[in-house]
Copies of this chain bind each other. A is one copy, B any other.
Amino acid sequence: MNITQGLHRHIQQRPHATVIRSMGRSITFAELGQRVARLAGALVQLGLAQGDCIAMLSRNSHRYIEYALGVPWAGGVLNPVNTRWSHAEILYSLNDSATTILIVDDTFKEAGAAIARQSETIRHVIYAGDGDTPEGMLSYEALLAAAEPVQDVRRSGDDLLGIFYTGGTTGFPKGVMISYNNLAYASLTSLAKGFLSRDAVFLHAMPMFHLADFSAMYGLLVTGGVHVVLPAFTGTTALEAIALEQVTELMLAPTMIQMMLDAREADPELGKIRFDGIRNIIYGASPISSTLLDHACEAFPSARFFQGYGMTELTTGGTMLDAEYHCKEHHLSGKMYSAGRAVSCVELRIVDTDGNEVPRGTVGEIVVRGPNVMLGYLNQPDMTAAVLRDGWMHTGDGAYMDKDGFVYIVDRLKDMIVSGGENVYSAEVESAMSSHPAVALCAVIGIPSEKWGEAVHAVVVLKAGMSASEDEIVQHCRGLIAGYKCPRSVEFRPALPLSSVGKLLKNELREPYWKGRSRGVA
């Protein structure tokens, strides 16, 4: 299967049906097919050779979907750039993948120009915006207008689809090589859950460079549903798009759900709208609190909630917590706080450091095997060999499994704190701290300690208008968890650093403490 197959099929079956709605513009399958074939033609004219990497640095747009289809159509390899990275990180990824063409939008045209000047491999920068084309760049629309459409080369199977760089927040990013098979299996597995059917209207709320959104894009192209493009997520823009476009499916981080609920509360007009057309909300990156879930169920009464756990190396698919576990019964059973069970294209185990499966209830590392496991890290055979062993992807995530196969993620192994020879799981400490009435958000990290090796350190965001002292919070924890797990120090901040998909960036919190030292974990 190749990524363009769904497009071919829907052009054949219903060329005049709408496939994309973006900023008031509607695009049909036939139009998309024309634009994709012309983009591919333009890339070939610009000298694209089979297997060349083409990068895109852009907010979500209909042109992002054209890029996702047009580059493989021409025989190229995708390199969707994380827009949150520093110039140095982006430059590293462009050089590492020998990317020859960079496509930028209005938001990133200056950044793109600066990066391209420093790049060793970029030959062309294409401006895919709506204003005047900056000097030194080619106009995306002019290229399309002038190009001859070319035939789809139909790369497929284990061919390289794209390099999805990950981990940019810690050292330099790793280029995760994803094949057509990887993406197709991950997407079909989601479709088998009943997501993204032919009559679905999906909101691209997450950034398109992220493989989670990319996988949904692929699934939707298979079934022929409608892509609603949201260039920039806020609680308000998301709710407005859902109401206007009658969105049926969403993929969100819990923080994004919270932002939507906040926006609804803040705006009486939004508060009046009934959002009862939503069918499925898949959320990822972290479990949902029962309070947030209750509020979300009230705001979106028709929605079924699903939690996904995964990572780029798994083409995002690891476990899923099904809708039926989002209820009072499984709040009590605790299953609602698990990450669910292995998705249906993988095998998943919890293993010790020797790779042996541990007994149920014992914490170990999550390893996953399946057709969605990446080909490897680009140019990093050692790093690849370290995580891909006997076909099993070693995720670096610590978890235990219950008797029914539900996976409870305890911690990133690298977030585990070793203090005085004891393992402290930051998630457990955070859970204790969260129950303090004044705590809005918190994060627990290990910081260097002469005495203990690492000491438990907490970063706390207080609720608006509430207060609590360091001592009060530590005492609160003492009532709930063992003394050695309680924070030795507490720091108050106005906010926590989050990634583009709402994941807490603990490395940023740790960095000032560990500058020039090694923690001994990757």
Contact = CB atoms under 8 A, between A and B. Distances in A.
Interface in A151-181: 154, 156-158, 181
A1 B371 contact: yes
B9 A156 contact: no
Contacts of A181: 157, 181, 371
A347 B5 contact: yes
Given A5-B370, A191-B192, A371-B157, A13 B404 contact: yes
Interface stretch (A31-39, A73-81, A338-346): A338-346
A293 to B, nearest CB: 23
A405 interface: yes
Contact of A344 (B194, B223, B341, B404): B223
Interface in A380-408: 391, 401, 404-405
A14 interface: yes
- Chain A interface size band reads 35 or more
A6 interface: yes
Interface in A85-104: none
A501 to B, nearest CB: 25
Interface stretch (A136-144, A182-190, A327-335, A472-480): A182-190
A414 interface: no
Contacts of A8: 347
A12 interface: yes
Interface in A333-381: 341-342, 344-348, 369-371
Contacts of A416: none
A208 interface: no
A266 B349 CA distance: 53
B188 A6 contact: no
A407 to B, nearest CB: 11
B184 A222 contact: no
Contacts of A370: 1, 5
A404 B342 contact: no
Contact of A13 (B154, B188, B405): B405
Nearest to A194: B194
A335 to B, nearest CB: 12
Contacts of A154: 369, 391
B13 A341 contact: yes
A366 to B, nearest CB: 13
Contact of A188 (B9, B192, B223, B401): B192
B344 A222 contact: yes
Contacts of A391: 154
A95 to B, nearest CB: 32
A181 B194 CA distance: 22
Nearest to A345: B1
Contacts of A341: 13
Given A188-B192, A194-B194, A342 B9 contact: yes
Contacts of A222: 192, 344-345
Interface in A1-53: 1, 5-6, 8-9, 12-14
Nearest to A390: B154
| A12, A13, A158, A184 — most chain B CB neighbours (10 Å) | A12
Interface string A399-425: 001001100000000000000000000
B405 A371 contact: no
Closest 5 CB pairs of A and B: A13-B405, A191-B192, A188-B188, A1-B371, A12-B405
15 contacts: A1-B370, A1-B371, A5-B370, A8-B347, A9-B342, A9-B344, A9-B348, A9-B405, A12-B348, A12-B405, A154-B391, A157-B181, A181-B371, A188-B192, A192-B222
Given A191-B344, A222-B344, 20 more contacts: A1-B345, A5-B347, A9-B346, A9-B347, A12-B342, A12-B348, A13-B405, A14-B404, A156-B371, A157-B181, A181-B371, A184-B185, A185-B188, A188-B189, A188-B192, A191-B192, A192-B192, A192-B223, A194-B194, A222-B345
